[in-house]
A = this chain, B = another copy of it.
Amino acid sequence: MTATTARNRMLGHVITAEQFDRDLLDVLFRRATALDGVRDDRLAHRIMATLFYEPSTRTRLSFESAMLRLGGAVIGTEAARTFSSAIKGETLEDTVRMVSTYADLIVLRHDEAGAAARAASVASVPVVNAGDGPGEHPTQALLDLYTIERELGRVEGVRVAFCGDLRFGRTARSLALLLALYPGVRMTFVAPPVIQVGGDILARLEARGVECRLAEQLTDVLDDVDVVYQTRVQKERFTDPLEYEQARTAIRIDGAIMRQLPATAIVMHPLPRVDEIAPEVDADPRAAYFRQAANGVAIRMALLEMLLA
C-alpha cells in the first residue's frame, strides 16, 4: 500500500490504535514532525468539539492546543452527561448527531468501551476516540510510539521493558500491539504476578513474532533495554498490603535505577505519575516523560490535519 492510499484510509475516524498499519504510522509521524512548532491558520474556520462524558483535562487540553496551533477553533464540554441527565435518557447517538451539526470534528471521551465506534456510526463528521473507558485510547498509543521513534531514531529492533499494571492498564497493552508492527522488537514485562500482562496479549504478540519475556524486578532487566515504559500500580489491585509494597519497590525508578540504566536508554510514562518515578529522576536527560507529553500535541496536530485539511 502506498502512503497515499494509507492516508486515504485515514480519512474516516480514529477509533482504535489497531486501525493503523506501518504505512499510515509513517505518514502520521512524518506529519507530526513537520508540524512540531508550527503555528498557522491552516485549519482556520474549522471547529472541533471536545465531547467529554468524564473529565480528562490533560487529554482535552492537549487536543485543544493542537487545534488552536493550526488556527482552528474549539467548542466543548467536560460535562457531556448534561445532555442526558435532565431527561434521563438522550442517547449518545442523538447527542453525536446533534453535535455533528455544530462542529467539523468530534473528540469523544466516554466511560464505556465501544462508545467511540457507536459515535462514529452515526456522526456526519470525523470522530476521534479520546479514551472510551476500559476500551481504547489510540492517540495515547500513537504518541507513545512516536516518542520512541523520535527519541531513539528508530522503532525496529528496540528493546522495551513495560513496568507496572500490565494486566488492567490499557496504555502498555496498546503500545505493545503497535510495536508488534515493527520487526525485531523485543519486550519484557516487569510486574508481580497479580498485575502481570495477560496470556491473551502475550499470545497475540508471539503470533506476530515478538520475542517476549516476563520479570518481577526491574533491576533484573535494566542492562538489556532501550526503553523503560513505566505505569502506575494501583493499590486496589492487591489484597495484601505487604505484597503491594514489594511490587511497588520492585519496579520503582529512582537515582539508583538510573545509574544502572544504559546511557542511551529512555524512561517513559503516560502521566500522571505518583511515586513510581522519583522526582530526582526528572533532571536526567533520559527522563523522556515530559517530552512525551509534548509529543502528544504534535501527534494530535497531525491527526487533525489529516482528518480536516
Using CB atoms and an 8 Å cutoff, list the residues of chain A in contact with chain B.
39-40, 45-47, 49, 55-58, 60-62, 64-65, 68-69, 71, 73-80, 82-84, 87-90, 94-95, 97-99, 101-103, 232, 271-275, 290, 293-294, 297
Q: Closest CB of chain B to A51's CB: distance in Å?
A: 9
Tally of this chain's copies: 3
Do residues B84 and A272 form an inter-chain contact, with CB atoms below 8 A? yes
Contact between chains at B102 and A79 (CB < 8 Å): no
Report whether B68 and A47 are in contact in the complex, using a CB–CB cutoff of 8 Å: yes
A-B residue pairs, 7 tightest by C-beta: A39-B45, A101-B294, A90-B272, A65-B102, A68-B73, A55-B82, A89-B274
Q: State the Cβ distance, A144 to closest chain B Cβ, in Å.
A: 15
Whether the Cβ atoms of B45 and A57 lie closer than 8 Å is no
Across the interface, name the chain B residue whose C-beta is closest to A82: B55
A98 touches B290 (CB 8 A): yes
Contacting residues, chain B, for A83 (C-beta < 8 A): 57-58, 272
Q: CA–CA, A147 to B86, complex, Å? A: 25
Establish whether residues A232 and B87, one from each chain, have CB atoms under 8 Å apart when the complex forms: yes
Closest B residue, CB atoms, query A80: B57
Give Cα A65 to B103, complex, Å: 7
Query: Least Cβ distance of A74 to chain B in Å?
Result: 8
Q: Are A94 and B272 in contact (CB under 8 A)?
A: yes
Query: In the complex where A97-B290, A101-B293 touch, is A65 in contact with B47 (Cβ < 8 A)?
Result: yes
A69–B45 Cα distance when bound, in Å, is 6
Q: A84-B272, A271-B98, A272-B90 are known contacts. Are A49 and B78 too (CB-CB below 8 A)?
A: no
A82 near B62 with CB under 8 A, answer no
Residues in B with CB closer than 8 Å to A74 are: 75
